[in-house]
Amino acid sequence: MIRYVKELAETIGPRGSTTRAERNTSKYLAETFEAMADEVSIQSFRSVPTFSWAYGLYYFFMVVAAVLIPVLPVVAALLALVNTLAYLFECQTFEAYTKLLPKDKSQNVIAKKSNPSEEGERRPRIVLVAHYDTSRSGLNFHPKLVPGFRQSFIILNISMAVILILALGAGVFALLGQRMVSVYNYLALPFALYVLFSVLLLIHREIWGVHVPGGNDNASGVAVMLDSFEHLSQNLPEGAEVWAVATGCEEAGTVGMLRFLEEYGEAVEEDYIINMDNLGIGHVKYIIAEGMFYAMPADRDLILAAAACARENPELDIGPYVYKALTTDATPALSRGYKAISIMAFDDNGILPNWHWITDKAEFVNPDNLTTASTLVQSMARQIWH
């Protein structure tokens, strides 16, 4: 499996969303799948190249709302309310501002292998998912700051919530013809400064950040997906079918997975989705719940299958985990009611090593981690089938 990691992270290198390198990677994956699958297809779509501009707009408009409280309180209240609602939808992978931004070409690579039953019996389809694009680095992903990433996100959202409440209060009082005490007009400004700092971080990321090699995130997940697909497809029980979906533009906001669900969602609504992400370093975990605000529970059958594999193979050091840092390709599936779970790996402190940073190289990926993750995925799939 390590050869896949080296091919993606070293030979191809950084694979930013919608870039030529991402397209070259899709061709490599399609050629690799040809030797394993009955059918390989490319699903083309258009996507924003980054999540920075959409979220930068959400944060910027909250700053504007705070500034408008003293002069146009009703406008401030409406802006803050509409902006917050759109932001909450976006964080749950339902596109809002993203729909309005410029887009470029991207693609998913979809491979299928089946073993039809003579009696027409159909077992649940297993859909293996891993994104192959890589993120742009940013100051908030510096290795020394990543341990506080979740806390910073919480403070940011508390600041936005305070601005919303203060703007709504000012708007209501203005509509009632009441005058606010002068100090009220400036209560939101300290919180606006914190939100503005987040805007500046995103701007810095887009101007000075670079696309990272992505050895762990997510050449490791792609390697596990390829290996799992190959082994499962060689010994499919009758009536079983396995798909592998290599998604583009996950780092731009899980766009590849969103486009896959739009086109194939009806076909896989009764099937099982296993997402593989950041598997090259640390302790392999099955994610029992994930989400940026509300941790949505993973599918019960998949959790039980993962737990059974962990019990039967204690030497593999597999365990449960709740992930709330950012979205994965399983997040849009879970938020839309699909049966899904993520498989990931974390260091001793529960951190994704080299996350979105230039040190995310193939040389740091542990081959044993990949073997453990592939064993887990294959075990889960076979339990679901049998």
- Residue 294: the pLDDT is 87
Dist CA 236 CA 254 (whole Å): 29
Burial 193-212 (b: 16+ CB within 10 A, else e): ebbbebbebbeebeeebebb
Copy the structure tokens of residue 368.
């044993």
Q: 108-158 pLDDT, tens per residue?
A: 999 999 999 877 788 999 999 999 999 999 999 999 999 999 999 999 999
CATH topology of domain 2-49+103-137+211-385: Aminopeptidase (3.40.630)
pTM of the full structure: 0.95
280-290: average pLDDT: 97
- Residue 121: the pLDDT is 83
| Dihedral angle, C-alpha 332, 337, 340, 344, nearest 10 ° | 40
- E strand or H helix that includes residue 200: helix 189-208
Q: 335-372 pLDDT, tens per residue?
A: 999 999 999 999 999 999 999 999 999 999 999 999 99
Q: 52-74 pLDDT, tens per residue?
A: 999 999 999 999 999 999 999 99
Position 32 pLDDT exceeds 90: yes
Sorted by where each begins, the domain ranges of the chain are 2-49+103-137+211-385, 53-96+146-208
What average pLDDT does the structure give for the chain?
96
Burial 52-75 (b: 16+ CB within 10 A, else e): bbbbbbbbbbbbebbbbbbebbeb
Burial 275-290 (b: 16+ CB within 10 A, else e): bbbbbbbbbbbbbbbb
Give residue 220's identity as a one-letter amino acid code: S
What's the pLDDT band for 179 if we cut at 50, 70, 90?
A: confident
- Residue 182: the pLDDT is 85
Q: 212-260 pLDDT, tens per residue?
A: 999 999 999 999 999 999 999 998 999 999 999 999 999 999 999 999 9
Selection from 118, 102, 5 nearest residue 53 by Cα: 102
Give the CA distances from residue 166 to residues 70, 113, 187, 193, 287, in Å, rounded to whole numbers and listed in that order: 11, 56, 8, 15, 37
Copy the structure tokens of residue 44.
């083309």
Asked whether the beta carbons of 72 and 232 are under 8 A apart, the reply is no
Q: 324-335 pLDDT, tens per residue?
A: 999 999 999 999
